[in-house]
C-alpha cells in the first residue's frame, strides 16, 4: 500500500499528529521520510476537505522547529561522541563522509546551513544535532531554525496543496489514467532533479578534495 493510500484510511487528527511527529523526529536526527509524509498529506488535503491545509502546515512547522531544537540540545550535550555513536547506529546517514560534508557546510555557511539544510535531506537530519555539537550560538540557531521551518514546512504544504487542487480540477475532464500519468511525470521530474542535485554535490566535493590535496602538496615543500 502506498503512503497516500494508507493516509486516506487515517482520521484527519491522526494525520496532523503523524506529520508533526515524523517531521519532528527526523529533525531531531532520526532518519525518517518526513518529506514524503508531508507531501503525501498535503496532496491528500487537496483532494479531501476533511484535512485542513493550514492546520497541516502548522503541525509540520511546529514539528520541524521543536525537533530541531531538541536535536540542538542533544548535540550540545553529547558533543563529538554523539556523532560517533550515531555513525555506528546509522552508517548510511551518519558515516564519516556524511559528517565531514555537513561540517564543511556549517563552517562555510554558518546559521544559513541550518536554514537551507531544511531543503536538503541529509542536512535536515544533521542540522539540529550538528549545530549543537559545533556550539553554534543558540540565538543564531533559533532564528535560522524558525525561518527554515516556516518556509520549508509551510511552503511545501501550500505549494503541494494548491498544485493538487489545480491538477484535480483540470484532470476531471480526463480519466483516472490521466491522473496516474501526471503523477508519474511529477515523480520522474522529482527523481531527475534529485539525481542532478546529488551529482552536483558529488562534483563539488571532488573539487574541494582536489583543492585540499593541491594545497597540501604546496605546503610540503614549504615545510622542507
Which grid coordinates belong to 83? 556523532
Q: Which residue has the higher pLDDT, 20 or 211?
A: 20
Question: What is the pLDDT averaged over residues 75-93?
Answer: 70
> Taking a C-beta distance cutoff of 8 angstroms, is the pair 4, 43 a contact?
yes
Average the pLDDT over 163-189 and give the result.
Answer: 60
| pLDDT range class, residue 147, cuts 50, 70, 90 | very high
Residues in CB range of 79: below 8 A, 6 or more apart? 133
Quick one: average pLDDT of 123-149? 85
φ/ψ of 14, rounded to 5, equals -65, -35
Q: Is the pLDDT of residue 23 over 60?
A: yes
Distance separating alpha carbons of residues 56 and 51, to the nearest angstrom: 7
Rounded CA Rg of the chain: 20
Closest CA to 93 of 165, 161, 31: 31
pLDDT over 90 (residue 198): no
Terminal C-alpha separation, the chain = 65
Q: What is the pTM of this model?
A: 0.65
pLDDT at 223 over 50: no
Identify the pLDDT of residue 201: 60
Q: What pLDDT shows up at residue 105?
A: 72
- Mean pLDDT of all residues belonging to the chain: 75
Exposure of 54 in the CB half-sphere (CA atoms within 13 A):
0
Identify the top-confidence range among 29-38, 76-85, 97-106, 182-191.
29-38
Choose from 1-5, 29-33, 127-131, 150-154 the range with maximum mean pLDDT: 150-154
Looking at residue 172, what DSSP letter applies? T
Cβ atoms of residues 12 and 51 within 8 Å: yes
**Tens-digit pLDDT profile for residues 53-67:** 999 999 999 999 999
Distance, CA of 77 to CA of 72 (rounded, Å): 9
pLDDT of residue 176: 52
Decide: helix, strand or coil at residue 73. Answer: helix
Q: What's the average model confidence in pLDDT over 22-51?
A: 84
117 against 184, higher pLDDT: 117
Distance CA(170)–CA(147), nearest Å, equals 33
Amino acid at each position: 500500500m502506498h503512503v497516500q493510500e494508507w493516509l486516506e484510511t487515517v482520521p484527519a487528527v491522526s494525520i496532523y499528529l503523524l506529520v508533526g511527529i515524523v517531521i519532528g523526529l527526523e529533525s531531531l536526527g532520526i532518519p525518517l521520510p518526513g518529506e514524503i509524509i508531508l507531501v503525501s498529506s498535503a496532496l491528500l488535503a487537496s483532494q479531501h476537505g476533511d484535512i485542513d491545509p493550514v492546520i497541516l502546515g502548522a503541525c509540520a512547522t511546529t514539528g520541524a522547529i521543536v525537533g530541531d531544537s531538541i536535536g540542538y540540545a542533544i548535540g550540545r550535550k553529547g558533543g563529538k561522541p554523539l556523532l560517533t555513536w550515531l555513525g555506528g547506529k546509522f552508517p548510511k546517514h551518519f558515516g564519516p563522509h556524511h559528517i565531514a560534508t555537513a561540517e564543511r557546510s556549517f563552517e562555510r555557511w554558518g546559521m544559513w546551513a541550518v536554514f537551507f539544510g531544511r531543503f536538503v535531506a541529509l542536512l535536515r537530519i544533521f542540522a539540529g544535532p550538528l549545530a549543537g555539537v559545533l556550539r553554534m550560538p543558540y540565538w543564531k540557531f533559533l532564528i535560522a531554525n524558525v525561518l527554515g521551518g516556516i518556509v520549508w514546512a509551510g511552503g511545501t504544504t501550500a505549494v503541494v496543496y494548491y498544485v493538487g487542487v489545480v491538477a484535480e480540477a483540470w484532470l476531471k475532464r480526463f480519466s483516472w489514467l490521466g491522473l496516474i500519468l501526471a503523477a508519474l511525470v511529477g515523480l520522474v521530474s522529482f527523481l531527475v532533479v534529485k539525481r542532478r542535485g546529488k551529482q552536483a554535490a558529488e562534483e563539488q566535493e571532488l573539487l574541494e578534495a582536489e583543492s585540499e590535496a593541491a594545497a597540501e602538496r604546496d605546503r610540503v615543500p614549504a615545510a622542507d
